[in-house]
Amino acid sequence: MAQKEPAAVRGRIEIAKYPRVGLYPGSFDPVTLGHIDIVKRAIKLVDHLVIGLATGSGKSALFSLEERVAMWQHEASQLGKDRATIEVIPYAGKLQVDFAREVGAAVVIRGLRAVSDFEYEFQMAAMNQRMNPEVETVFLMADPRNQAIASRLVKEIAMLGGDVSAFTTPYVADMLAKRSKERR
């Protein structure tokens, strides 16, 4: 009788009997290099990553939900190759934990830039844990090169005619330049 090869030799799909699904939620208005860095690192931890685009409570969006979905679809198309699948799904009017349950996520991925992010994220993780103890929150520290990048600041720079190429991709920078001209 022939001996079976170890799962690792047969391929990645066979290793994981139940693929691990992660959720990376946010408003992403716009997508920055910091967001992309977190996705690149998150796909090392999960087999399938859902980028969940929230409408953002209390935030004034520069881009529509549809535009932000298109932004992420463009950017994510190259990120998951040979590592994990990535799906971009908008969600509105739902709790993050309910959306995580809907997409089958066992883990919520959150990026931290500075200590100031931690207090809010810690409270959110604690509340989510109380509402659904089956979903864990994982914090990934921002790469030091991306710690100062915030969507709010990138928008402000673009709206004032500044160069945002150091903070986002060429595709998103072009979208920002066009939107900024429309608004000025």
State the catalytic residues.
35, 59, 113, 151
Residue 76's identity, in one-letter code, is A
CB 140 within 8 A of CB 41: yes
Phi-psi region of 140 (alpha: psi -120 to 50; beta: other; left: phi over 0): beta
Q: How far apart are CA 184 and CA 179, in angstroms?
A: 9
Instruction: Count the Cβ atoms, other than its own, within 10 Å of residue 165.
Output: 14
Question: Residue 26's CB: how many other CB atoms inside 10 A?
Answer: 19
Q: In sequence order, what are the beta bridge partners of 26?
A: 53
H/E run at residue 110:
strand 107-112
